[in-house]
Amino acid sequence: MLFPSQIFLFIFLPFTIFFYYTFFRKNRRLQNVLLTVMSLLFYAWGEPVFVFVMLGVIGYNYLFALLIDKHSLNISKAKAILVLSLICNILIFFIFKYLTFTLENINGVFNSQIPVPGIALPIGISFFIFQAMSYVIDVYRKNGEVQKNVLNVALYISFFPQLIAGPIVRYQTIADQINSRKESFDYFSSGVCRFIFGLSKKVLISNNVALVADAAFESESPSVVLALLGAVAYTFQIYFDFSGYSDMAIGLGNMFGFKFLENFDYPYVSKSITEFWRRWHISLGTWFRDYVYFPLGGSRVDSKSRLIFNLFVVWMLTGFWHGANWTFILWGFTYFILLSFEKLTGLHKKMNWLGHIYTMFFVILGWVLFRAEDISHAGAYISSMFGINGNPVIDDVTRLYINEYFVFFIFAAIFSLPVSKVVREKLGDKKISSVLYPIITCGLLLLSISYIVKGSYNPFIYFNF
Amino acid sequence: MNIISKRIVAIFMVVIILAGIPGLFSLSFVKGVGRQVLYGYRENSMPEGATTSQRIKRIFTKIEDMIEISFTGEYVNLNGLVQKSMGKKVISDVVNANTVVKLDNGYLTFVFDEYKDTAHYAKSVADLRSFVKNTGSDFLYIQAPYKNFAYGDKIPDGVNDFIKDTTKGMVSNIKSNGVETLDLSIRFTECEVNGESMFFRTDHHWTVQGAFNGFRMVADELKENYNFTFDEKFLSQDNYTVETRKGSFLGSQGRRVGKFYAGMDDLSLMYPKFETDFSFEIPNRSVSKQGTFKEVMFDFEKLEPKNFVVSNNYLVFIGGDYDLTVIKNNLNNNGKKIVLIKDSFSCAFAPFLSLITQELHLVDLRYFKNSELKNYIKSVSPDLTIVMYNCAALYDNDDFFDFN
């Protein structure tokens, strides 16, 4: 089930809110049960069989955390249990996400005939596995109290706002909120507004520029301008899609009294790659920082080679986390090179306005790699972007896409910048902002719904032909 | 930001969502869900080797597709208005083949972005012709027109459309198989003739003027090559009354983009001023009527005002598509018998054709059992068997050309 869908907006969400704030209003435990059950239903709607995989992950992580808590005074025992839990989580993650890729490559390299199973990838596994690991690790580190009630663990791991696309909610940031959050109409209202902005980003901007990106990347020989346009389109698509989903997740959390941390901070204003990764998918970056980079020693190591090694591990894992394809591994490796370069030279601290160009140049190329089907496709596409493969500079198809979608590109460019922040600061509590804000927000909601309805609207053409 | 503003937004969203909640407890929805659960799991349309998860997901997807929120039409209208204000000419659709393109003259159309090889269709038609000839009947393949032929040069640059090439290929294949052919597609080169529209602005069909124009061309062909005799008065529009309902019709393309994107169509009905007497039957729907052309050829219930999401005014012409419709001209008992294997373009066309026939049997292979077609033709023993499809049918459905 997707947030921008009729079934979510007009059935799932109102049903959940209604029961949460009426029949279960005075009982926190029942509220949590409701949210857990609805979250499992939310997941099962898209993954009717894999929901049991998630239940299994919840179950064994719950048990591991209890065991760690029970042996908390025996550090070596607790550590052993932690390691075992991590092995189980990584094994599940590996089997579903990377086994097929690994075996295919082994067969390719060694000419072997190992049978390659066709394993489907459960939606959101990258997120809920990492959240599960976060839970056990934070219990081990005593950064959050162990949950005796398995339903609370289930709620933390499966909570529907952040289940499919993050942000990766760290257990320590939410532990207290499971039982001790405070709902209010003002907080609910803020959540609604945040949700609407996220919905608009996804439906109005991302879904539309995606059409340009798809046309460019699926073309066998895009013109130079179309290739450039497609790369920029995908740059916008992925930002507004991902940050839009994060906004919706944060807003939905607010509606039920939860406060999640921010996941994006206008990454395309960055002046260095270092800064970019402090603004992009913050929850993933901090997860790797706190659970991989810092335990390896982080930046506070004695030798540069050790620093490089630490960065290498983190960025290869980051690339790999995104998908089982050499494109993601190369993408991660590219960022390792750039970040190592910046760390060793201190360049990221000295950047001026040229830093924006430098950053966006590599970020856009990185997204081309990310979007491409494989490395050769990425290479061919980048060649098209630079006019190396003999394609025309521009053609009718390109002009059509420019004419059809330039409005979306303009809005995407504007809202990639912290425009709304600046406008809010300038207008402050002036009366005009009190008038404009609800008009614009309500307008965005109606527009978004119109696109969602149109996107699923398939009237029966009785006289089709 | 002022918290009051946020509260207003929250209340607005609650109202909008409550207003849109679909009727989940209607009998038709409950039945539909039941059908999906009971039969969807076993449906043969799933590919072989489909897993349990895939089957269950498919059921959920089908249930989701059934959900239609209240005010769907209004949201589609709003979306169309926004698209129009941005000057969009290409409106993507959930079904890619139904992407709507606005021509430079404001007409809407579907486009066909790849060439289709129709050799196997032509062979099927040729095989049917052989069968029909062996029964002693004549045969004719009529290529009905499509809007894109008339306005091909008005398709926006950058939009690929191969329907002309595919149609030319089909007609050429048919002819090279020795089949008698009448190609109307190359004759409908204008969307308007003497100020009358041959095609709807928002629908893929021809208008009643277009259908009448097509009838005249077909009638000339039947007179010249098939020994049909009839009064020339049937071919003169002066002998017909035209009733126009202005701005009343939102067609197949318009329904996908709302009424503001390209406006609405006029819907004209045309019926003879001279005397007529017909028997009209849809055997498998227990429909049986007798009366004048106006009384039997139009289903006026279909013109009652309804939400455009659920209505289709084009159904006024003979009530729509059914497996079999039989029209008998009680004033032409010495006339010829035709079996017309058709698509929806014939709905506006067949009433006129029935004026010059004794019996007209309309067979729609989307609903008629393909395997019973040849037996039916034998049982009717027509003077002429016609296959008439519009150009877009070449892309749509293999059933059209499955005559076995």
Which positions in chain A touch B67 (Cβ < 8 Å)? 6-7, 10-11
Give the pLDDT of residue B220: 96
pLDDT at B25 over 70: no
Nearest CA in chain A to B88: A404
Question: What is the arithmetic mean of pLDDT over A415-430?
Answer: 83
pLDDT of residue A358: 94
- Among partner residues B3, B79, B343, which is closest to A189 by beta-carbon distance? B3
Chain A residues 195-254 with a CB less than 8 Å from chain B: 196, 211
- Is B30 in CB contact (< 8 Å) with chain A? no
Chain B residues closer than 8 Å to A404 by CB: 88-90
What is the percentage of chain A residues whose pLDDT exceeds 90? 74
Q: What pLDDT is stored for residue A164 in this prediction?
A: 85
Q: Tell me the mean pLDDT in the region B109-134.
A: 93
Give the tens place of pLDDT for each residue, B263-282: 999 999 999 999 999 999 99
Chain A CB contacts of B8 below 8 Å: 438, 442
B146 vs chain A: nearest CA distance in angstroms?
10
Minimal C-alpha gap between B64 and chain A (Å): 7
Chain A contacts in chain B segment 260-289 (CB below 8 A): none
Closest to A259 in 3D by CA, of A188, A199, A177 = A177
Closest partner residue to A6 (CB to CB) among B69, B94, B321 is B69
B-facing residues of A in 150-169 (CB < 8 A) are: none
Instruction: Say which of B5, B52, B95 has its CB closest to residue A49.
Output: B52
> What is the band of B262 on the pLDDT scale with cuts at 50, 70, 90?
very high
Dist. CA B147–CA B390, nearest whole Å = 10
Q: A225: which 2 tokens?
A: 């301008």
Q: What is the mean predicted confidence (pLDDT) over B67-91?
A: 91
Q: What is the pLDDT of residues A130-163, one digit of tens each?
A: 999 999 999 999 888 898 989 989 999 999 998 8
Q: Do A14 and B205 touch (CB under 8 A)?
A: no
Establish if B153 touches chain A: CB-CB under 8 angstroms. Answer: no
Over residues A343-354, mean pLDDT = 86
> Are the beta carbons of A398 and B89 separated by less than 8 Å?
no
Inter-chain contacts counted by CB atoms under 8 A, chains A and B: 183
In the prediction, which pLDDT does A459 show?
Answer: 60
> B397: which chain A residues are within 8 Å (Cβ-Cβ)?
465
Averaged pLDDT, A402-425: 91
Calculate mean pLDDT across residues A364-380: 95
Quick one: average pLDDT of A27-54? 92
| Cβ within 8 Å of A, B 159-218 | 159, 204-205
Q: Encode pLDDT of A225-260 as tens digits.
A: 999 999 999 999 999 999 999 999 999 999 999 999
Question: Which residue in A has a C-alpha nearest to residue B156's C-alpha?
Answer: A400
**Contact yes or no for A434 and B4 at CB 8 A:** yes
> Which of B:239-258 have CB within 8 Å of A?
252, 255-256
Give residue B309's pLDDT band: very low, low, confident or very high (50, 70, 90). Answer: low
Min mean pLDDT across A56-70, B100-114, B303-317 is at B303-317
Q: Establish if B75 touches chain A: CB-CB under 8 angstroms.
A: yes
Q: Please report, as a single letter, which amino acid is at residue A338.
A: L
DSSP-derived pairing of the beta strands B287-291 and B324-329: unpaired
Say whether A463 and B312 touch across the interface (CB within 8 A).
yes
**Which residues of A are catalytically annotated?**
322
Q: In the prediction, which pLDDT does A434 show?
A: 84
Residues 122-141 of chain A whose Cβ lies under 8 A from any Cβ of chain B: none
Nearest by CB to A454, from B60, B79, B89: name it: B79
For A41-57, what is the mean pLDDT? 91
Maximum average pLDDT range among A168-177, B92-101, B257-266: B257-266
Q: Does B392 touch chain A (CB under 8 A)?
A: yes
Chain A's closest residue to B22, CA to CA, is A10
Probe site for chain B from A10, A52, A420 (most B CB atoms < 10 A)? A10
pLDDT of residue A171: 86
Is the pLDDT confidence value at B388 over 80?
Answer: yes
Mean pLDDT across B383-403: 90
Could you give phi then psi for residue A411, rounded to 5 degrees?
-65, -40
User: Nearest CA to CA, how far is B65 from chain A (Å)?
Assistant: 7
Question: What are the tokens at B366?
Answer: 């989307």
B96 versus A98: which is more confidently predicted?
A98
Tell me the average pLDDT across B386-404.
88
Cβ within 8 Å, pair A10-B65 = no
Is the pLDDT confidence value at A465 over 60? no
Give me the half-sphere count of Cα atoms (radius 13 Å) on the Cβ side of residue A19.
14
Calculate how close chain B gets to A409, using CA atoms only, in Å: 12
A125 touches A75 (CB < 8 A): no
Is B401's Cβ below 8 Å from some Cβ in A?
A: no
How far apart, in whole angstroms, are the C-alpha atoms of residue A254 and residue A159?
Answer: 13
* pLDDT beyond 70 at B41: no
Dihedral of alpha carbons A214, A217, A222, A227, sign: positive
Amino acid at A364: I
What is the β-pairing status of strands B287-291 and B278-282? antiparallel
Residue B60 has pLDDT above 80, yes or no: yes
Name the residue of chain B whose CA is nearest to A439's CA: B9
Partners of B89 on chain A (C-beta within 8 Å) are 400, 403-404
Residue A259 distance to chain B (closest CA, Å): 17
CB contacts of A453 in chain B (<8 Å) are 69, 72, 75-76, 79
pLDDT over 70, % of chain B: 92
- The helix/strand/coil state of A140 is helix
CA distance A391 to chain B (A): 16
Q: What mean pLDDT is reported for chain A?
A: 91
Q: Which of A50, A420, A457, A458 to mutate to test the interface with B (most CBs of B within 10 A)?
A: A457
How far is the C-alpha of B214 from the C-alpha of B350, rounded, in Å?
10
Token match 């997860």: residue? A287
Check CB contact of A47 with chain B, cutoff 8 Å.
yes
Residue A445 to residue B12, Cβ atoms within 8 A: yes
The answer on pLDDT for B186 being more than 60 is yes
Give the pLDDT confidence score for residue B276 in this predicted structure: 96
pLDDT tier, B81 (very low <50, low <70, confident <90, very high otherwise): very high
Whether the link from the prior residue into B145 is cis, omega within 30° of 0, is: no
Tell me the β-bridge partners of B241.
Answer: B271
More confident residue, A291 or B46: A291
Report the b/e string of A61-74 with b at 16+ CB within 10 A: bbebbbbbbeeeee
Provide the Cα torsion A258, A264, A266, A272; round to 10°. Answer: 150
Chain A contact for B86, CB < 8 A?
Answer: yes
Residue A294 pLDDT > 60: yes
pLDDT of residue A463: 34
Q: What secondary structure, in 3-state letters, does chain B show?
A: CCHHHHHHHHHHHHHHHHHHCCCCCCHHHHHHHHHHHHHHCCCCCCCCCCCHHHHHHHHHHHHHHHCCCCCHHHHHHHHHHHHHHCCCCEECCCCHHHCEEECCCCCEEECCCCCCCCHHHHHHHHHHHHHHHHCCCEEEEEEECCHHHHCHHHCCCCCCCCHHHHHHHHHHHHHHCCCCEEECCCCCCCCEECCEECECCCCCCECHHHHHHHHHHHHHHHHHHCCCCCCHHHHCHHHEEEEEEEEEECCCCHHHHCHHHHCCEEEEEEEECCCCCEEEEEHHHCEEEEECHHHHHECHHHHCCCCCCCCCHHHHECCCCCCEEEEEECCCCCCEEEEEEECCCHHHHHHHHHHHEEEEEEECCCCCCHHHHHHHHHHHCCCEEEEEEECCHHHHCHHHHCCC
Q: Above 70 in pLDDT, residue B201?
A: yes
In this model, does residue A461 exceed pLDDT 50?
A: no
C-alpha B280/C-alpha B292 separation (Å) is 10
pTM of the model: 0.91
Which of B79, B156, B314 is the closest to A463 by Cβ? B314
Residue B310 has pLDDT above 70, yes or no: no
- Least trusted range by pLDDT, from A96-110, B58-72, B136-150, B357-371: B58-72
Cα gap A456→B65, rounded to integer Å: 7
Nearest chain B residue to A9, by CA: B17
Question: Given pLDDT bands bounded at 50, 70 and 90, which one contains residue B404?
Answer: confident
Span B199-214, average pLDDT = 94
The rounded mean pLDDT for chain B is 89
CB contact under 8 A, A459 and B256: yes
Task: Check CB contact of B158 with chain A, cutoff 8 Å.
Answer: yes
Is A449–B158 a contact, with Cβ atoms under 8 angstroms apart? Answer: no
pLDDT tier, B306 (very low <50, low <70, confident <90, very high otherwise):
low
Give the orientation angle of helix A75-97 with respect to helix A99-110, to 10 degrees.
70
Contact B53 A46 (CB under 8 A): no
Cβ separation A14–B6 shorter than 8 A: no
The verdict on a CB contact (< 8 Å) between B400 and A465 is: yes
CA B38 to chain centre: 31
Contact A193 B6 (CB under 8 A): yes
CA quadruple A296, A301, A302, A303: dihedral sign:
positive
Residue B44: pLDDT above 60?
A: no
Residue with the bigger pLDDT between A101 and B47: it is A101
| Per-residue pLDDT at A464 | 30
Nearest to A10 among B20, B98, B400 (CB): B20
